[in-house]
Amino acid sequence: MKTRVSAAFGLPLACTALLLFLGCGTKTTSTGTPAADVTPSDDQTAADTTTDDAADTATSEISATECVALGQGECDASSECGSGKYCDPCTRKCLTERGLCDPCEFDVQCEKAALGSMCLTFLTGGSYCGRACLGQAGCPLDHECKKVAPQGEMQCVPKSGSCAPQSGACKTDGDCPFQTICNADYGKCVPGCTQDENCASPNVCSLGRCVAPCAEDADCKVLSADAVCKDLHCKIAGGCLSSVECETPETHCNLKDHKCVPGCAVDADCKDFALGCENGKCVKKGCDKNWQCSFSQVCNTVTRQCQAAEGPFCAVCNPDDENVPECGGKPNACFKMSDADDKEMGAFCGLVCGNDPAGACPQGWGCMELKDDKGTSQGKYCLRQCWSKPVGAP
């Protein structure tokens, strides 16, 4: 914001305006390579039993009606995405690769697809990511490296013949670990969306699923009885993914149960420059500079503690009195201040900038140099929008 000031000591100022900084519906056409058939054992005959509905994965709950054309999305090839990402052939967005035995629809979705990992269709039902391999050493203990039909490539496949757990492993999202959701088609807990960018517009990511933005709490009950609507997203009251979501000072996110709890893990959890986190508690911390302190405080470099600034900073004053007694006398000054719309906001004290190594002005004030109409400096003063309270002030 712009603030116009004029000095009470009668000097014409050239700078009369000071700036104070205080997966896509599977019913759509796609260009990805579809899943390859795989038989769970050598004496079984491969058969693709996957239907359109069964091929849906947890992160493909996108109510898209058509795919994005080439050149119209975020990417056209996985090489345009970062490490661990692939280019979704339908939404044209860079999404996180899927790991071994995660549900899939296309080869490109699987981790290390560029090295030969494939999306495999199982006789027992469902399509899941395999992993390219040269021998058993490249597979987990419960998998084996074997040729898959019809291509004959070597892939890590489960020795059990199925990636899906036994029926009933999960029926609802509540049966699954945090940040995973239940794919009811497979009875398997799988990763859900983590951000809005994983979903097709205008859907948003709420509790791991791509859904329409909510308008009220009732819209969220289909996801969870405990969910509430906040900023168009369904969230669990008191739940969190990171401490940024814990708005109360001196609270942080417990990443085990993902709840906001009292205490701190890092200094930022204290939400006060003057406090630091020690042994899970917010305590006053040492300082070196004024900016490390709270509003209107300065750093005592001897004790390394923040303390209230001394002096009539922003005190109301009489601009017609050249002796500016309210401001502690000269060389301090009384300034008439106006906002960006030239509305007069009052007259306030501007104190001469100090020479303390911790900072020239208290935290929240800026050291401004004023010049006359000839460009001659008339001094430097600690100034701010004195009529405006800092955020969080009563």
pLDDT above 60 (res 140): yes
Could you tell me if 87 and 120 lie in one domain? yes
Contact 54, 34 (CB under 8 A): no
Number of domains present in the structure of the chain? 3
The pTM score is: 0.37
Could you tell me if 33 and 146 lie in one domain? yes
Domain-terminating residue out of 114, 131, 164: 164
**Band (20; pLDDT cuts 50, 70, 90):** very low
Contact 337, 327 (CB under 8 A): no
At 222 the pLDDT is 85
Domain-terminating residue out of 114, 132, 164: 164
Could you tell me if 78 and 133 lie in one domain? yes
Contact 171, 187 (CB under 8 A): yes
At 179 the pLDDT is 67
Could you tell me if 248 and 273 lie in one domain? yes
363-375 burial, b for 16+ CB within 10 Å, e for fewer? bbbbebebeeeee
At 305 the pLDDT is 86
Q: For residue 248, what are the domain limits?
A: 243-284
At 31 the pLDDT is 36
Q: Which contacts qualify for 316-325: CB closer than 8 Å, 24 or more apart?
A: 316/346, 316/347, 316/348, 316/349, 317/8, 317/347, 317/348, 317/349, 318/8, 318/347, 319/6, 319/8, 319/347, 320/8, 321/8, 322/8, 322/9, 322/10, 324/8, 324/9, 324/349
Mean pLDDT of 289-297: 88
Q: Is residue 188 part of a domain?
A: no
